[in-house]
Structure 1
């Protein structure tokens, strides 16, 4: 028997004072599993004043650019996320100030974006015209009324100029709302705004705890709006077919076929599942636990599988991942070794999967767990290759989970992200190819720095476990008051085909298939939450794919999206729930979706983005 090697994530030492400040409180605190919050109620307020007719937005009118950006928001809004739309300056083209300054309308009430609401909203946006005044203060009050008085609420404002109707001054209205105890934030995108208007709009965002971003053309407006809306809706989107693993061992466990499932950790209990696997088949099991605020130091998730019997099943595979700081995602996975001589047979070909829970403890709240199960055999080996079409431009904005990771190809991709966001991209790789990832961020001069702010990039392999970034083992770059361009480079790493002779030498790149890339500006303090920063992601794939037939894993029909079965991909590329779902747009329409958003530190960057991790492979005990 040849069990898979274990992989462990370990953090290198930080400076003593910083380490003491960060880790001492966590040593005695048990990691808390948060409740799943409801998606934020958001109302988008669009400036349709006469100046939006100017033709200076990248060769088109500002109005046309705004229509494109708003339509994109409507198309990508999760069905469960309540969204409303209000406009001002849209109907009165005259000069009467009293009448013009009352010109604001609720176009769409705040409601879930189901298919009918989405179609209606897009039709209404297409008919927008720009005509009149800019009553920013007036519409802030009205938009707050649109959202009601309870729950997580945000206003997202797009404006190209100063308020032309004061009083009331817009920033005073923002202070007024805060003074009334109204718990809502106002995010603002200044669209080709002059400096005087920018000061006014930034004040609105600052006093309400929102974010401000500039946009100069249609693409930057679309990107910045998308970032602001994602910040309110989710950070990691956990998806899968609902399942309840046994808490009492393999004998009571449900049988899982290839596919992705959504379960939860409760208390400190492990999860068990039955799985069918012959000795001529290979099994992949990946598990991802998701928290809102992060894990305590020492939290660990382990996946193992093997024939049921005495002790824990582990004869087929065992992999684990450990956090020594605060991570919002702990993920790991493994594959059984090829060939019947490497596998212990199971009675009736029915084995057992265990996801060991060293994350939550008794009394903790439930925590979402994704379980991905795949099988490779001669049947899947004959399936035709199917990979998603890479996206470019605004369509290449990162998604917010493994399943919604955006497919990209070689080249440079640009967007803005909010501090605390951790978007995902995916790229298909074959044995013999080399991957290099260069991620850059532009830190503005007015960035609210803290000692622990950092810029990081993480690469995950097709088993959904973190691979090493570079030879100095650093995943993050401490910002430490720096401004301007900061870059992190992972690779070049050659993709190999894993076997028994390789251990730590592969650094996690011994699994051909779908690789995931995640980038983040991590900042533990509230001051920087939501600050927008432009980033770039450059992916280079070189080398010649090695001839031969790698394992082809089938991850089931696309159950989480309710679509027809898809073909398994060649050379280890994932398909079905593991691949086709990953290629699907981040439209939030998955069965069992749980919308989670974090503060700073979302994603897998440990110690709020400042930790240094080393990946070690060890033989299972």
Structure 2
């Protein structure tokens, strides 16, 4: 079901025509109002070619076998603990010439099971001992892998092969059709590793008939990147995290008290969410909310955050921010801060105010939708340095993360990797007042990229420290349409100067008035399933110029478990373990680009599409 937008008394009527389609499955909420759950991970069986041709020394200066071991070891290292992963090989044990024996040479060396620490260690030991000696029974191995995965839930086979099936019949593409015809909820993704053109059509056919993806790899780095993209796509997209909380549906009077930190709640029906928060008049408040859709929602959907003293009406005396959904969004995110200065402050009785997250996304009967709530408090007189910022990452470690919390810290320079079409990775940069930010994102579109009829685009978005989407450039054009285009295509956001909001000044409508953590997101968005999952190389260039000014702005505390990007796996920058890091950082930040969350502004053929933002303080 697709949630439908509603209009409330708090929002002005807006006439908007919006274009786009949600591209990726999202995290689902629990049926329990108190504890939203993460979705059950897809069951995956990796099928690896260990035929004799894998001993060839043409994979970037090493054997194909060595490159495959490296790539598979990284997948094992970075798999989420809860992700059921299995490994099957073929051509690994029989070195002789008897075709009957050679074509039966397929073994499940790792059962499909969660990757806890013992399973991870055992799997890596098995991979280290792999030898490539035999035949190439692809079709037989696909049938066996389907049995490995069982008959329930979402299942995927990821096949790595360097050539033709030397054991057909059965032809591997016919086996793929056979599995699909059985009604099995199973897709086969394929990586052709140094594959000759004669075998490529066969491997592409396997992916096509099962609704999977195909990618080519020529060396260890590209194989690792391609496998990482395919596994991320299968495991999860945006991973909503936070301490479970159940906001009140009836107003502030019976709302739970929240302290600085990140929380995970859910929109149910068309109900708003309320929370209490303690804030003295000499303190400032930041509230950010991110609604995460499992399926597409009405393209006129809005989310609003507001806060102020509780009363008969809606709280908004401290802050009010709202954001309208964008063309390819599967999240709507917005946030705001109360403004310094006595004229902007209205004390609350007992210093306990109310936060409201207004839900104009779902209606009665719609599926529950996870909502991240980030709460921060700052003393106006505090000017000391905040928590240590994470060290920027480079190379393979700079691959994007799956959400705001797992956004990968990067610095100035060009960062390259591969992503699957439909993925939407996050990075983060630290910015000070006086600096200027320019972001350039490029994608290399291959000659055989499907022409999807005018609705595929290369998208670049920047979110500010309040987790609100900012203006990309003077035209606010963050999307480059790809219809009929091939080769290198770039989008540029900026340059924008980071200012520092003064008490008497209103917020910069471009959204670059708050120094701190800024988030970058890139995506190839495509409503057409023919392009989904294709792996393409991208580049992300960040330029930070200008001279930082000594800041007078307040330092916000978001709690120990509200990591806005851990400095290293499992920590929040202060040495404490974070909720988000436990579930995301170690597996997701190491994988090449997460899948998932595109937010862009699309102008297409006369259809106008606007992002709506209003900032007011009573």
Query: Which residue, out of 121, 138, 141, partners 2:140?
Result: 138
Structure 1 residue aligned with 2:242: 240
CA shift in 2, pair 1:563/1:9, >3 Å = farther
CA shift in 2, pair 1:603/1:327, >3 Å = same
Moved more, 279-288 or 62-71: 62-71
Q: Is the 8 A contact 1:275 1:351 kept in 2?
A: yes
Output one character per residue of 1:99-149: Cα deviation in whole Å (capped at 9) or x when no partner.
222111111111122222222222222222222221111101111111112
1: CA distance between counterparts of 2:441 and 2:320?
32
Structure 1 residue aligned with 2:352: 350
Using the TM superposition, give the Cα deviation of residue 607 of structure 1 relative to its aligned residue in structure 2, in angstroms: 6.5
Using the TM superposition, give the Cα deviation of residue 566 of structure 1 relative to its aligned residue in structure 2, in angstroms: 4.8
Secondary structure in structure 1 of the residue aligned to 2:483: coil
Using the TM superposition, give the Cα deviation of residue 383 of structure 1 relative to its aligned residue in structure 2, in angstroms: 4.8
Output one character per residue of 1:69-124: Cα deviation in whole Å (capped at 9) or x when no partner.
11221222222221111111112222222222211111111112222222222222
Return the TM-score normalized by structure 1.
Answer: 0.87
Q: How does 1:86-97 map to 2 (within 5 A)?
A: 86-97=88-99
Secondary structure in structure 2 of the residue aligned to 1:125: helix
Secondary structure in structure 1 of the residue aligned to 2:334: strand
Q: Paired residues, what number?
A: 587
Structure 1 residue aligned with 2:471: 468
Output one character per residue of 1:181-211: Cα deviation in whole Å (capped at 9) or x when no partner.
2231111111111111222211211121111
Output one character per residue of 1:194-241: Cα deviation in whole Å (capped at 9) or x when no partner.
111222211211121111111111111111101111111112111111
Structure 1 residue aligned with 2:25: none
1: CA distance between counterparts of 2:495 and 2:430?
15
Structure 1 residue aligned with 2:585: 584
Using the TM superposition, give the Cα deviation of residue 604 of structure 1 relative to its aligned residue in structure 2, in angstroms: 2.1
1: CA distance between counterparts of 2:13 and 2:289?
15
Q: Is the 8 A contact 1:263 1:370 kept in 2?
A: yes
Secondary structure in structure 2 of the residue aligned to 1:140: helix
2: CA distance between counterparts of 1:229 and 1:159?
16
Q: Is the 8 A contact 2:571 2:578 kept in 1?
A: no
Q: Is the 8 A contact 1:399 1:586 kept in 2?
A: no
CA shift in 2, pair 1:550/1:586, >3 Å = farther
2: CA distance between counterparts of 1:559 and 1:457?
25
Q: Is the 8 A contact 2:414 2:540 kept in 1?
A: yes
Secondary structure in structure 1 of the residue aligned to 2:82: coil
Query: Which residue, out of 480, 488, 499, partners 1:496?
Result: 499
The answer to whether residue 180 in structure 2 is matched with residue 178 in structure 1 is yes
Q: Is the 8 A contact 2:402 2:595 kept in 1?
A: no
Q: How does 1:110-129 map to 2 (within 5 A)?
A: 110-129=112-131
Using the TM superposition, give the Cα deviation of residue 334 of structure 1 relative to its aligned residue in structure 2, in angstroms: 0.5
Secondary structure in structure 2 of the residue aligned to 1:527: coil
Using the TM superposition, give the Cα deviation of residue 305 of structure 1 relative to its aligned residue in structure 2, in angstroms: 1.0
The answer to whether residue 200 in structure 2 is matched with residue 205 in structure 1 is no
The answer to whether residue 378 in structure 2 is matched with residue 376 in structure 1 is yes
Q: How does 1:247-258 map to 2 (within 5 A)?
A: 247-258=249-260
CA shift in 2, pair 1:230/1:372, >3 Å = same
Q: How does 1:252-291 map to 2 (within 5 A)?
A: 252-291=254-293
Q: Is the 8 A contact 2:77 2:587 kept in 1?
A: no
Question: Where do 5+ consecutive residues of structure 1 fail to align?
Answer: 1-5, 14-18, 27-32, 569-574, 590-595
Q: Is the 8 A contact 1:7 1:320 kept in 2?
A: no
Using the TM superposition, give the Cα deviation of residue 525 of structure 1 relative to its aligned residue in structure 2, in angstroms: 2.2
Query: Which residue, out of 226, 229, 239, partners 2:228?
Result: 226
2: CA distance between counterparts of 1:436 and 1:194?
41
Q: How does 1:401-416 map to 2 (within 5 A)?
A: 401-416=403-418
Structure 2 residue aligned with 1:360: 362
CA shift in 2, pair 1:545/1:292, >3 Å = same
Secondary structure in structure 2 of the residue aligned to 1:42: strand
CA shift in 2, pair 1:616/1:558, >3 Å = closer
CA shift in 2, pair 1:229/1:578, >3 Å = closer
CA shift in 2, pair 1:467/1:588, >3 Å = closer
The answer to whether residue 523 in structure 2 is matched with residue 520 in structure 1 is yes
CA shift in 2, pair 1:130/1:446, >3 Å = same
Q: Is the 8 A contact 1:287 1:303 kept in 2?
A: yes
1: CA distance between counterparts of 2:572 and 2:230?
34
CA shift in 2, pair 1:380/1:69, >3 Å = farther
Structure 1 residue aligned with 2:616: 619
CA shift in 2, pair 1:142/1:9, >3 Å = farther
Q: Is the 8 A contact 1:300 1:330 kept in 2?
A: yes
Output one character per residue of 1:487-515: Cα deviation in whole Å (capped at 9) or x when no partner.
10001111111235555755111111111
Q: How does 1:458-607 map to 2 (within 5 A)?
A: 458-499=461-502, 502-503=505-506, 505=508, 507-558=510-561, 566-567=573-574, 584-587=585-588, 602-605=597-600
Q: Is the 8 A contact 1:467 1:615 kept in 2?
A: no
Q: Is the 8 A contact 1:432 1:545 kept in 2?
A: yes
1: CA distance between counterparts of 2:430 and 2:580?
10
Structure 1 residue aligned with 2:427: 425
2: CA distance between counterparts of 1:208 and 1:503?
54
The answer to whether residue 400 in structure 2 is matched with residue 398 in structure 1 is yes
Structure 1 residue aligned with 2:7: none
Q: Is the 8 A contact 2:80 2:583 kept in 1?
A: no
Q: Is the 8 A contact 2:72 2:224 kept in 1?
A: yes
1: CA distance between counterparts of 2:535 and 2:229?
8
Query: Which residue, out of 89, 92, 101, partners 2:103?
Result: 101
Structure 2 residue aligned with 1:302: 304
1: CA distance between counterparts of 2:300 and 2:553?
35
Structure 1 residue aligned with 2:446: 444
Q: How does 1:63-82 map to 2 (within 5 A)?
A: 63-82=65-84
Output one character per residue of 1:366-399: Cα deviation in whole Å (capped at 9) or x when no partner.
1100000111126864355411122222222211
For the aligned residues, what is the CA RMSD?
Answer: 3.1
Secondary structure in structure 2 of the residue aligned to 1:519: strand
Moved more, 74-83 or 363-372: 74-83
CA shift in 2, pair 1:40/1:597, >3 Å = farther
Structure 2 residue aligned with 1:592: none
Using the TM superposition, give the Cα deviation of residue 54 of structure 1 relative to its aligned residue in structure 2, in angstroms: 2.2
Q: Is the 8 A contact 1:202 1:212 kept in 2?
A: yes
Q: Is the 8 A contact 1:134 1:162 kept in 2?
A: yes
Q: Is the 8 A contact 1:473 1:612 kept in 2?
A: no
CA shift in 2, pair 1:117/1:239, >3 Å = same
Structure 1 residue aligned with 2:388: 386
Secondary structure in structure 1 of the residue aligned to 2:257: coil
Secondary structure in structure 1 of the residue aligned to 2:153: coil
Using the TM superposition, give the Cα deviation of residue 484 of structure 1 relative to its aligned residue in structure 2, in angstroms: 1.5
